[in-house]
Amino acid sequence: MNYIGIDIGGTNLKAGLVDEMGNLLATKKIKVSQISDNDSLVWTLVSLIQDLCQATDVPIGQIASVGVGVPGTVEIHSGAILYTCNLPLQNVPLRKLFHRYLPMPLLIENDANCAALAEYHVGAGRESKRFITITLGTGIGGGIIHNGKIYHGANGMAGEVGHMSIEMGGEPCPCGRRGCWERYASATALKRLTSRVLAEHPDSILRTVVDENAGHVSGQSAFIAARRGDPVGQSICHTYIAYLADGIANLINLFQPDTLAIGGGVSNEEDKSLLLPLRREVERLTIPCSEDKRTKIVKVELGNQAGIIGAALLGKKKRV
C-alpha cells in the first residue's frame, strides 16, 4: 500500500505519495492563496491525490490513507481543522467533507507532530522508542513520540515545549505568560539577542558580518562572527546555547527520551559551534546517568520533507 501526506504551509500546500518504506515517490504543490473556502480546500486535496496517483501509476485504490499536517489547532478524533494561520478558514470538518469524494481514511495532525513522526519512522529517531523533536523557528515547536505514538495528552494539546517557562516572571510571551522558553531559544529569539548585543558593539566583527548581509541580522550572524574570532559573536552563541540547553535539560529530566533531535534553520550550524557545546551543557544540567542511558542529542535528518512524510505515515500502524 501507499500513503499520501499533505502539508499546509504558509505559501504552498504540498502533497506527497509515500511507499511502505517511507520513501517519497512523488510530490505536488499548489499555492495556498488559491484556497478561499471549505469547498476549494477539499477539491484541492482530491485533485492533488489524483495527480500524485497518475504521476506514480499507483491506482487510487492502493492509497491506504491520507494524512494532513496543519500548523495550528486540530481535532484529531473528528478530523477537523479548528484554526490555522495559513488558511482563511476556521472549524473545517475536513474528514466529513473529504468523504463526499473519496473513501479512504483521512487523518489530521499538528504539523510539528507530523515532522516528529517522520523523523521517528525514517529519520533521526528511527532507533528510538521514545523520541522528541524540537524545531527552532519563530517559536519552538515540539513533537513527542512515545512507543511509536504521538503523545497528545488528554486534550490533544500536549508537547507545547516552547511555552515551558524557564525564567519565572521573565520576558512576556504572546501566550499570556512570562519567561517561555521560546522567548529565549527560538530562532527569532536568537535574532533578537543578536540585534540587542549588536547595538552595544558598533565596532565588532559582528557589525561587519551584518553589513555584508545588507544590514540584516539573521540566525547565522552571531555564529559567523564567532567563527571569525569575534568575542561579541562568541558571547551571543554562548548565551543562546545556555538558554537552549536549559529547556532541553528540563525535557530530559521529565521525559528521558532515547533521542532528542533539534531542527529548524539554527540546527544547520556546524557541530562544533552548536551541537557539541550544547551536549556538554545539557549533560552538566541533567540528572547524572551512565553514558549508555543518556539521551542522545542529534539533528533532524529529513529537512523540509518531514512534514509531508510524517503526514503520510499518520495512517501507518507498524514501524517503517
Piece of the chain touching a copy of itself by CB under 8 A; list 10-18, 27-35, 253-261, 306-314: 253-261
Pick from 67, 123, 143, 257 the residue near a copy of itself by CB under 8 A.
257
Using the rule CB under 8 A, give the single segment among 48-56, 153-161, 264-272, 297-305 that binds a copy of itself: 153-161
Residue 186 is a binding residue for a copy of itself (CB under 8 A): no
Is 71 near a copy of itself (CB under 8 A)?
no
Select the span of 48-56, 208-216, 239-247, 267-275 touching a copy of itself (CB under 8 A): 239-247
Minimum Å distance from CB 178 to a copy of itself? Answer: 9
Asked if residue 60 binds a copy of itself (CB under 8 A), the reply is no
3-state secondary structure of 172: strand
In whole angstroms, what is the distance from residue 245 CA to residue 185 CA? 9
Q: What b/e string do you get for 127-138 counting C-beta neighbours within 10 Å, with b at 16 or more? A: ebebbbbbbbbe
Locus of grid cell 497518475: 54
* Nearest partner of 260 among 113, 128, 120, 132, judged by Cα: 132
* Nearer CB in complex with a copy of itself: 153/303: 153
Check if the beta carbon of residue 108 is closer than 8 Å to that of residue 70. Answer: yes
* Distance from C-alpha of 8 to C-alpha of 304, rounded to nearest angstrom: 12
Q: How far apart are the first and last CA of the chain?
A: 12
H-assigned helices in 57-110 = 94-98
Nearer to a copy of itself, 16 or 257 (CB): 257
Q: CB 213: neighbour CB atoms within 10 A?
A: 13
Of residues 102 and 166, the one with the C-beta less far from a copy of itself: 166
**Is residue 81 within 8 Å of residue 108, measured between CB atoms?**
yes
Q: Which stretch binds a copy of itself (CB under 8 A): 41-49, 53-61, 147-155, 310-318?
A: 147-155
In sequence order, the 6+-apart residues with CB closer than 8 A to the CB of 210 are: 198, 216, 217, 221
Choice from 95, 121, 130, 183 touching a copy of itself (CB under 8 A)? 130
Nearer residue to a copy of itself within complex by CB, 176 or 215: 176
Nearer to a copy of itself, 61 or 174 (CB): 174
Q: Could you give the angle at the alpha carbon of 261 between the alpha carbons of 255 and 126, nearest 5°? A: 90
Among 158, 192, 227, 238, binds a copy of itself (CB under 8 A): 158
* 164 lines the binding site for a copy of itself (CB under 8 A): yes
Residues that bind a copy of itself (CB under 8 A): 128-130, 146, 151-161, 163-168, 175-177, 242-243, 246, 249-251, 253-258, 284-289, 293-295
